[in-house]
Structure formats: C-alpha cells, structure tokens
Structure 1
Amino acid sequence: MPTQREVDEAALAQQVDKIIEGVRARDIEALKRCYATDVVSFDVEPPLQHVGVDAKMRNWAKVFTFFTEVTYELRELTLTVGDEVAFGHGFGRLRGTLQNGTATNGMWVRVTFCYRKIDGTWLITHDQASVPFDMSTGRGVADLEP
C-alpha cells in the first residue's frame, strides 16, 4: 500500500502532466484547473507579477496567439512534498510553430512551481519563470540548455 507521500507525489506528477497536455491542446480551461484562484505568477513577461488565475490565463492565451502548434517541455523537475505544501524546480521550454509558419525550438528558462493542497487537490499557488542574464550587458542569455 502506498504511503501518503507517494500518493501526493503521484498526484503532483499528474498535475504537471496536465499543464503539459493543456499547453499542447491550447486548452485554457484545462490549464485553469491547475492553478489556485489567487495564484501569483512571476512570468518572463512584464509586469513583475501577474495576480490571480485570470491574469495567469491571459498569459497562456497570449502564448497561443504566437503559436499555431506549441509544446511545453519540462526537464529535471525535482519535487519536494510536504503534507499541505509542495514545490518543484527545473527547466521549461515552449517550442513549436509560430503563426508565420516558422518552427522554433524556443529557449530554456528556469521554472519554479509552488503548490498547496486545497480541498484535497494540489494547485499551483505560485510559479516563476526566469531567464539568466549577462551581468556585464544586462541582457538575457537565451542559448543555455540543461
């Protein structure tokens, strides 16, 4: 019989898969079910923070305006699970076909997901995507790979 920790780890892995599948399907409603209503997102795009699930969904919707086909890939995702709170970190990349027909491999960013178990379901309450930058130029470094 699995332990509660093993059950929670499996549930979190399923939530991550739902994000990947939701992006591939361009399904805003499926993505929305992965986030808490009061999620705070520090995304790569301005402003500094996006507060609330509707703001987060506007960001995903914007992604879908750039791509006709899109996939989201996560690598080296490490999860740390507590009873009611969990977090994960790794590397994420959006890639696909842009509206103009150009295929792009995108760029790798650092990602962090913070989860809270709400009514028995693990939901993202905070996420962050960041791009490393060259301190001497102040410019993002977009050609790094995990």
Structure 2
Amino acid sequence: MPTQRETDEAEIRGRIDKIIEGLHAKDLEGLKQVYSTDIVSFDIESPLQDVGIEAKLKNWAKVFALFESVNYEIRDLTLTVGDEVAFGHAFGRLSGTLKGGPATSGMWVRVTYGLRKIDGIWWITHDQVSVPFDVRSGKGMTGLEPPSGAR
C-alpha cells in the first residue's frame, strides 16, 4: 500500500504530465485544469511576472499561435512533497514545427514548480522558467544540454 507522500507525488507527476499532454494537443482548457486561478508565473518572456490563470493561458496561446505542432519534454523532475505544499524542479524543452516554417528542436530551460494542495487537489500555484546567461555578453545561453545523470 503506498504512503500518502507516494500518492501525492504520483498525483503531482500526473499534473505535470497533463501539461505535456495539453501542450501536445494545444488544449488550453486541459492546461487550465492544472494551474490555480491565482498562479504567479515567471515565464521566459516578458513581463517579469504574470498573475492569474488567464495570463498563464495567454502565454500558452502565444505558443500555439507560433507552432503548427508542439512537443514538450520534461527531464529529471525532482519533487519535494509536504502535507499541503510541494515544489519541484526539472529541465524542459519546447519544440515542434513552426507555422509555415521548419521544425525546431527548441532549447532546454530550467523549470521550477510550486504547488499547493487545496481541497485535496494539487494545483500549480507558481512556476518559473529560466535560461542561464553569459554575464559578459548579457545573452542567454540557449545551446546548453541537461547534464548526464542529472537529478
């Protein structure tokens, strides 16, 4: 019989899988089912902060407008789960075929998730996506790959 922590971790991993499924299907309604209504998102594009589910879905809608087909990959998701709060980190890569254009392999980014258990359901209440940058040039380092054996 799994422990409550194991059950919670499996549920959270399922929520992250729903993001992958929602992006692949270009399904904003499906994506809406994993984020809290008051999510605070620090995404890869400006502004520095988006607040609320509508702002988060607007960012995903921009992705859908750019891509004919969308793929999203999560690697090395690590979770820390408490009774009502959890956080996780992973590497993520958005790729696919651009509308009217070529396929793109995308770039690896760092992703952090903050979750809260509300009325028995785990909701993503915060996410942050980042790219390392070169201090001297001020430019993002978009050609990096996750390390082998990363955790």
Q: What TM bracket, shorter-length normalisation?
A: over 0.9
TM-score (norm 2): 0.95
Q: Secondary structure at the match of 1:132?
A: coil
Question: Aligned pair 1:23/2:33, yes or no?
Answer: no
* CA RMSD of superposed structures (Å): 0.6
C-alpha distance in 2 between matches for 1:124 and 1:100: 33
Other-structure match for 2:141:
141
Please list, as runs of the form range in 1=range in 2, the aligned pairs for 1:34-113 lying within 5 A after superposition.
Answer: 34-113=34-113
Q: Structure 2: how far apart are the matches of 1:46 and 1:101?
A: 24
Identity of aligned residues (%): 66
* Partner Cα distance (1:94, 1:68) in 2: 13
State the shift of 1:119 in Å. Answer: 1.0
Q: Which has the higher strand share?
A: 1
> How far apart in 2 are the matches of 1:14 and 1:95?
21
Give the deviation of 1:100 after TM superposition: 1.8
Give the number of equivalent residue pairs. 146
SS at structure 2 position matched to 1:133? coil
Gaps of 5+ in 1: none
The runs of 5 or more residues in structure 2 that have no matched partner are 147-151
Distance (Å, rounded) in 2 between the aligned partners of 1:142 and 1:113: 21
Which residue identity is paired with 1:18? K
Ranges of 4+ aligned residues in structure 1 off by more than 3 Å: none
